[in-house]
Amino acid sequence: MRIKTLFITLLCCFTLSLNAQQTKTPVKSTGVPRPKLVVGIMVDQMRWDYLYRFFERYGNGGFKRMLQDGFSCENAYINYVPSVTGIGHSTVYTGSVPAIHGITGNDWIIQATGKNMYCTEDSSVKTVGSSTEDAGKMSPKNMLVTSMTDELRLATNFRSKVIAIASKDRGAILPGGHTANAAYWYDGKSGNWITSTYYMNQLPAWLTKFNEQKLPEKYLKQDWNTLYPIETYIQSSKDNAPYEGKFPGTETPTFPVKTSEMLGRGMGLLTSTPYGSSLTLDLAKAAIDNEELGADAITDFLAISVSSPDYVGHQFGPNSIEVEDTYLRLDRDLAALFNHLDTKVGKGNYTVFLTADHAVQHNAGFMNDNKIHAGVFPTSAVLKELNAKLESEFKVKEIALSFSNYAVSLNNTVIAANKLDENLIKNSAIEFLKKQEGVAFVVDIANAGSATVPDIYKEKIINGYHPERSGVIQIILEPAWYSGSSARSTGATHGTMNPADTHIPMVFMGWGIKQGKTNNSYNMTDIAPTISGLLRIQEPNGNIGKAVNEALK
Ligand SMILES: [Zn+2]
């Protein structure tokens, strides 16, 4: 009897432990050396030289920590045109270019229909997390390739967790790839972080709680004043400069910015202040805690994009106190994020990379006032004149459909209906565009390979060209020229293939990364294969980059 009882007890124990083994996922170790967490940080509109322009007043825990502990590729460039947000985020995470990944702009013209497409537009899904209908009709479905975040998920049979965060929808969605557990972005109308039904039908409880804190309002009630006494901002123009755009309802573009008095304008205002960066990193820390990112041996990925520096840069330009203050504050916020990661994931257990989706040019008026050749190319006005010229020649109205991303799209429906010769139209348009002030080269994109332009321009045009989603004629402006409305307009912009727009930071730090720097040239497409190699996962399926071998231990 006693023996029988013992036998049954043993049998029970054995069965229990068998069941436990069957249901429990073995996560102690994969046997493959990998970091516990990868944190991708993209700073929207960050020029490479901002690492050094404001270096003196950065603390030791943010940008300086990355430069001192990590590995910096000092000459990293965008290798396609146009240099805009949607493409930059896609390229960093896919190692690919518009010709292959299909994201040819923030918006593009679908050449077959002439209709406009926003890069992350998806009418088949709905907003989750607010009642703003359009804000959540978003997904990565327009991206034709996998991202390194997808490849990490595939490599671990979806056991790795991928979370993507940015106040801009495209800054979160494209880095997250097709298989992210979640992408969250900011809805300026409600002040909530939201997502779409592509990812889930309900926000996780922790995010609902995060939204309930109403942090945007709390930040804006603090007003925006400079972090240090304003007279110490010696790296920037005086506060009231003619190159700066004003906040609506204000008299001058100056400090203090009384955001507490602008609450009636809604919570979208937050993104045009450095508090937008702070809120994004608040959410990143909350995601690390609540999603337990980097808590076990299966590598997770947190893709963060900080969008506010782009809004501030567009409004005030690179030589403003507003931009300088935005970076000094971001530096502090980054230091806090790294501290948080040290505590939660452990120093040396995670890998970080820092880069940008594009950089930015100086305001043309500012350059002219300082005797530097620069100008604004009035794209809309030129499109009108081009159409008038084509109409007089071919007797048909509106032959050129759009002029954006520095490329002309033709109205293919009109051309077909009137049986016009596309080549004659292209030749006529090219001759006209060549004569415009500020234009350096005009290229028939389909024949870019044989164009009489420097090789590097050819490569950027071909890399940026997807026949179904790109225009047919490319203009290349003279350096320091950009598309806009008037020569004395305020603020700044990006989009060209010049170094001002395309020289970006590329710094790696943490697990598996050497300390140092290189002056060798690299491309934006080299980040994804570097991280993929580090993680010992397959590179994304549209990758054309090569790993930064000298950065890896
Ligand atoms: Zn921008």
Answer yes or no: is pLDDT of 528 > 90. yes
**β-bridge pairing 516-523 and 71-77:** parallel
CA of 353 to the centre of ligand 1 (A): 21
CA of 85 to the centre of ligand 1 (A): 6
Describe the crossing of helices 321-341 and 275-290 by its angle, rounded to 10 degrees: 10
Distances (CA, A) of 282 to 86, 211, 219, 343: 23, 11, 12, 15
Q: What is the token pair recorded at 72?
A: 């910096």
Please give the average per-residue pLDDT across 215-222, as a whole number.
98
Which of 42-51, 361-370, 478-487, 493-502 has the least mean pLDDT? 478-487
Find the helix or strand (DSSP H, E) in which 412 lies: helix 412-417
Answer yes or no: is pLDDT of 257 > 80. yes
User: Annotated active-site positions, please?
Assistant: 85
CA of 499 to the centre of ligand 1 (A): 16
Q: What is the pLDDT, as a whole number, of residue 11?
A: 44
Q: What is the token pair recorded at 371?
A: 């005797």
CA of 84 to the centre of ligand 1 (A): 6
What are φ and ψ of residue 393, in 5° steps?
Answer: -85, -40
CA of 45 to the centre of ligand 1 (A): 6
Residue recorded with tokens 């006032």: 369
pTM (2 d.p.):
0.94
Can the peptide bond before residue 140 be classed as cis, meaning omega within 30 degrees of 0? Answer: no
- Cα maximum dimension of the chain: 108
Q: What is the pLDDT, as a whole number, of residue 30?
A: 75
Three-state DSSP string of 99-138: HHHCCCCCEEECCCCCCEEECCECCCCCEECCCCCHHHCE
CB neighbour list of residue 288: distance below 8 Å, 6 or more residues apart: 37, 294, 302, 340, 341, 344, 345
The 8-class DSSP code of residue 540 comes to P
Question: Which residues, listed in sequence order, are joined to residue 72 by a DSSP beta bridge?
Answer: 507, 517
Q: What is the pLDDT of residues 349-391, one digit of tens each?
A: 999 999 999 999 999 999 999 999 999 999 999 999 999 999 9
Question: Which residues, listed in sequence order, are joined to residue 185 by a DSSP beta bridge?
Answer: 194
Q: What is the pLDDT, as a whole number, of residue 28?
A: 63
Q: What is the pLDDT, as a whole number, of residue 133?
A: 95
Q: What is the pLDDT, as a whole number, of residue 488?
A: 74
Q: What is the pLDDT, as a whole number, of residue 538?
A: 98
Closest by alpha carbon to 534, among 102, 151, 84? 151
Answer yes or no: is pLDDT of 22 > 90. no
Rounded (5°) CA angle 448-541-115 = 55
CA of 311 to the centre of ligand 1 (A): 7
Q: What is the pLDDT, as a whole number, of residue 12?
A: 44
CA of 314 to the centre of ligand 1 (A): 6
CA of 492 to the centre of ligand 1 (A): 9
CA of 262 to the centre of ligand 1 (A): 23
The 8-class DSSP code of residue 179 comes to S
Please give the average per-residue pLDDT across 243-255, as a whole number.
95
Q: What is the pLDDT of residues 285-300, one digit of tens each?
A: 999 999 999 999 999 9
Q: What is the pLDDT of residues 157-198, one digit of tens each?
A: 999 999 999 999 999 999 999 999 999 999 999 999 999 999
CA of 275 to the centre of ligand 1 (A): 18
Question: Which residues, listed in sequence order, are joined to residue 408 by a DSSP beta bridge?
Answer: 403, 473
CA of 272 to the centre of ligand 1 (A): 12
Rg value, the chain, Cα: 25
CA of 161 to the centre of ligand 1 (A): 29
Q: What is the pLDDT of residues 232-245, one digit of tens each?
A: 999 999 999 999 99
Closest by alpha carbon to 526, among 183, 71, 167? 71
CA of 310 to the centre of ligand 1 (A): 5
CA of 347 to the centre of ligand 1 (A): 33
Q: Give the count of beta carbons closer than 10 Å to the beta carbon of residue 520.
A: 11
Report how far residue 369's alpha carbon sits from residue 276's, in angstroms, rounded to the nearest whole number. 32
Can the peptide bond before residue 82 be classed as cis, meaning omega within 30 degrees of 0? Answer: yes
Please name each of the domains of the chain with its CATH number.
Answer: 38-107+116-363+498-551 (3.40.720.10), 375-484 (3.30.1360.150)
